[in-house]
Structure 1
Amino acid sequence: MEETLEDALACFDNLSAEQKDKAWEDFEAMDLDGDGTITLIEYQQFYYGSSYRIPFQELNTNRDGKLFLGI
C-alpha cells in the first residue's frame, strides 16, 4: 500500500503545472472543514457516485484516518 502513495506522488511530480493546479483544487474541494487533511467521510462525499478513485485505505498508509498531501 505504501507503493500506492509513492506511485501517486511520482505521478503528481510528472503533471503539468495546469494539472497540478487542478489536483490542488480537488484536494481543497475535498477538505470540507479546511483543516488541511481529508477524512474518509470527506473523501467519500467528494467521490460519491464516481467509479474512479483509489480506495481511501490504500492512500491512508499510516492508518490515522486522514490524508495529508505535504507536496
Structure 2
Amino acid sequence: MRRIAFAFALIGTILAVLGQYSLMNDWTLFWLFHTLGFVGYILIISAAAYFSLLFIHQLSREEKIRIRNKSF
C-alpha cells in the first residue's frame, strides 16, 4: 500500500504541475489539463492522508508496547 500511496503522490504532483503549466501558457485544451491538475491535487491529499494515518498508527503501536512492558 505504501508503494501505491507513493505512486499517487508522484502522479498527482506531475498532474498538478501540468495543470499549472497549461494555465500559465494558455494551451488550447486548458480546461482538460486544469481538470487533471485538480485530480492531481486529490491524489496528493490522499497520499498525504495515508502517510499521516500510517505514522499515527505506528506511534500508537509503540505506545501500546511501552505500556504493556511497563512494570509497576
What TM-score does the superposition give when structure 2 sets the normalisation length?
A: 0.31
Where is the strand percentage greater, Structure 1 or Structure 2? 1
Larger radius of gyration: 2
What TM-score does the superposition give when structure 1 sets the normalisation length?
A: 0.31
